[in-house]
Structure 1
Amino acid sequence: MGSRRYIGVAERRARLGLRQRLAGQARADTPEQVAESLVALHGTDPAAVYLAVGARLVNPATTVDDTGRALYGDRSLVRMHGMRHTVFVFPTALTAVVHASTGRTVAARERAALLRDMATAGAPGAAWLKEVEESTLAALARRGEATAAELAEDEPRLREQFVYAAGKSYEGVHTVSTRLLKVLGVEGKVVRGRPLGSWTSGQFRWAVAPGHAELDAAEAQAELLRRWLAACGPATEADLKWWTGWRVTDVRRALTAIGAESVELDEGVGHVTEGDSDPAPEPDEPWAALLPGLDPTAMGWQQRDWYLAPELRPALFDRSGNVGPTVWWNGRVVGGWAQRSDGEIVWRILDEEGVGREARAAIESEVERLTGWVGTTRVTPRFRTPLEKELTANQGPGAA
């Protein structure tokens, strides 16, 4: 243990500012650069993807057009299921790694669960479902992009329904299209296409997934973990297991495969990529950021005390553990923000330590940046937190 280098909170926050592209000098020119640096952008809330990108761009005025181009024009970014059965936005070049490292295992469970639920309900079996699947994928290939309703025009069996959990308190009726498209998404056969509305819309068309090679699972896990540690290291084994959703044996095997180095953290043993244990530089200047709910930085680690004081969590997280919009100063969360119905961005400091005149001026500058590119669009987080609700209900001045 004595041979491990100690990496303290200050250095971890410095690494975060630079590697997560939040410090001014580290901001990116394109959404692709942002996604490449962060590995994955949480995609459960569609607007959060754009907000996370905009917070990290040199020129956020291009956020909506450039992110839309990357997702739906160039397809250099793709929205798909990934770690922990969660929807993320990844660089397209990483889809094979994500699918092999994580998706195949989850996909097998999802298909088995669908077939089991259909059998219990007396619905047709695997052969029938395979026919519907092949017909659906062919229809989607012809159309390019389509909603589930549009696909059902070509394959009417998608409209068929079956009872789920009959007799239970949570009994419900499932449509074949909903369950099958979800399975196909986890299997990497389809991805979300263009939304039906604006960039804040949660209703998506579907598209055939970009082709990719089938990789060895262990090699893919090593590559995904290497990329994530390069962006987020140091991290504990608990952090890695939580973020990936893998078994601890998979995490340990991947750490060994990439030759990860062990370091000492306040929480115990941490890990960095090979050669990354040397002292890291600090940002040139102090920095502030307004990050959205489910931002990949705020949600990047399971053990968060080094950047988020425990007493702030009740106000900033919902009951399921989803983080809301956060205000950052020099590598730590100091408060939260919200957008009111009239478009005004409001914020509140919850941790006053070290937050003086310079910090407040920097936060106001970020408010102006965000207001400038969001414009007349109104953004409400999908998962609302106590502070966000309070800020939007209170119609007082902007800095609450």
Structure 2
Amino acid sequence: MTSLSWDQVCARRLDRHRLSAPTSAAGLAPEADTVAAVVSTMCGAHAQVASAAELSVGLRVPGATRALVRQALWMDRALVKSRGPRGTVHLLAAADLPMWTGALSALPVASHEQSLLTPGQTEQVLAALADALAEAELTTDELTEQVVARTGPWAGERVMDAFQDKWPRWISAMTAATRGGVICFGPNRGRSTTHTSPTRWLPGFAPMDGTPALAELVRRYLYAYGPATPAQFARWLSAPATWAATLFESLDLAPVTVEGTRAWVAAGDTDFPDDRPSGVRLLPYFDAYTVGCHPRDLLFPGAAADRALARGQAGNYPVLLVDGTVAGVWHQRRSGRRIHVTVEPLRTLGASRLRALEEQVERVGQVLEGTASLTIGPVQVGPHA
């Protein structure tokens, strides 16, 4: 069995996440296909906060700006905004949507997802959504009107708990609709979110069959985040650990050890670099690297676990990455085109790393189409501020 060091694992992940290459490329004009390829390799970019997704992707594509990410999404439709791992909003490569919907549809269904609708009612809602969104971009309120008109008043009953409000009954079918490829996000209309049909992004779209889709998703996940255990995959996907263990057993995977702990990679993908991980990076909220990589105690060593995790959850703080591991937190505050970046390192940075950090701050400004300045000091804001 191949025995790996944390440095080897870190170096491979950095390379595959496009975090080991130079961050700037003067005169380079990347294309939407390049953006989509990077998002595909990441297994999606968390997009609950749009600006964080734009920065997460832009920092991995030399020469890219947030405008290019938006173009890839809304104009070229090389990306699609939908719900991916953990049911959270993600940017996904449009070409990967058949795999994603096939795999997500094959996940075990939680009991709470079935409590407000009968199977027959769910099918009615899915049919109504498909019909209403075939050639339209509708807000939630508009979609409620369309679904009720096609099904009945029961679909609009406000019975679903939603923070301090109630949502219409039909929204409890949203998970099934997203997983099944019936619905995705459209461009915002002012401050209102819209929904549309994935077939408008990917003509001829149809979900893959569940079994091959899950196998492909595991392979993609292990390519970007491996070596990993079934429990880590289950956590990334928000699926039962026992189900994930059975899935791993059914696939052609190779066991390795990382610092003495057993984990898995895809069969035939067992090459790891001998070089040490290197580089300084600033990663935004819920960046795929920090959310998906494990073990947490190696990725967030020592003081980083207390400072950069929120009750053990990664992603709530933007992080400073030094040589592949978390070494601080940071925060940005924008005023017009000026972006004020405060970085709180958890250890002393030498002159070369300070220069690399300044370059990263400059690159953050380029991606966000502003001018960024750096302050070294304590970050005063809380998680997800």
Query: Quick one: structure 1 residues 239 and 309, their matched pair in 2 at CA, closer, same or farther if it must change by over 3 Å?
Result: same
Alignment partner for residue 196 of structure 2, among 207, 218, 238?
207
Distance in 1, Cα, partners of 2:211 & 2:73: 28
Q: How much has 1:212 moved relative to structure 2?
A: 3.5
Q: Deviations over 1:90-126 (max 9, x none)?
A: 222222222222234466856523316xxxxxxxx95
Q: How much has 1:295 moved relative to structure 2?
A: 0.3
72-81 or 26-35, larger mean C-alpha shift: 26-35
Aligned to 2:78: 76
Distance in 2, Cα, partners of 1:162 & 1:294: 31
Distance in 2, Cα, partners of 1:371 & 1:233: 31
Alignment partner for residue 374 of structure 1, among 361, 368, 374?
368
Question: Secondary structure of the residue that 1:389 maps to in structure 2?
Answer: coil
Alignment of 1:289-328 (within 5 A): 289-319=281-311, 321-323=313-315, 324-328=317-321
Alignment of 1:132-281 (within 5 A): 134-143=127-136, 145-152=137-144, 154=146, 157=149, 160-164=156-160, 172-176=165-169, 178-181=171-174, 183-197=176-190, 203-210=192-199, 212-266=205-259, 268-281=261-274
Q: Which has the higher strand share?
A: 2
Aligned to 1:44: 48
Unaligned runs of 5+ in 1: 117-124, 379-385, 394-400
> Quick one: which amino acid aligns to residue 83 of structure 1?
P
Distance in 1, Cα, partners of 2:16 & 2:224: 6
The alignment's TM-score, normalised by the length of structure 2, stands at 0.81
Aligned to 2:60: 56
Query: Quick one: structure 1 residues 163 and 231, their matched pair in 2 at CA, closer, same or farther if it must change by over 3 Å?
Result: closer
Distance in 1, Cα, partners of 2:138 & 2:240: 36
Task: Check the 8 A contact 2:282/2:318 in 1, yes or no.
Answer: yes
1:102 is the counterpart of 2:95: no
Distance in 2, Cα, partners of 1:371 & 1:214: 38
Q: Deviations over 1:13-56 (max 9, x none)?
A: 21122111011259894311211221221122222211111111
Distance in 2, Cα, partners of 1:146 & 1:33: 29
Distance in 2, Cα, partners of 1:318 & 1:25: 30
Q: How much has 1:376 moved relative to structure 2?
A: 5.1
Q: How much has 1:161 moved relative to structure 2?
A: 3.3
Q: Deviations over 1:188-241 (max 9, x none)?
A: 2000111235xxx7x421111235334332322211111111122212333222
Aligned to 2:351: 357
Task: Check the 8 A contact 1:79/1:192 in 2, yes or no.
Answer: yes
Aligned to 2:324: 331
Q: How much has 1:69 moved relative to structure 2?
A: 2.2
1:344 is the counterpart of 2:340: yes
Cα RMSD after superposing both structures? 3.4
Query: Quick one: structure 1 residues 26 and 135, their matched pair in 2 at CA, closer, same or farther if it must change by over 3 Å?
Result: same
> Quick one: which amino acid aligns to residue 226 of structure 2?
G
Q: State percent identity of aligned pairs.
A: 25
Question: Secondary structure of the residue that 1:31 maps to in structure 2?
Answer: helix
1:288 is the counterpart of 2:270: no
Aligned to 2:375: none
Aligned to 2:21: 24
> Quick one: which amino acid aligns to residue 103 of structure 2?
S
The count of corresponding residues between Structure 1 and Structure 2 is 361
269-278 or 14-23, larger mean C-alpha shift: 269-278
Question: Secondary structure of the residue that 1:299 maps to in structure 2?
Answer: helix
The alignment's TM-score, normalised by the length of structure 1, stands at 0.78
Distance in 1, Cα, partners of 2:263 & 2:384: 39
Distance in 1, Cα, partners of 2:76 & 2:272: 38
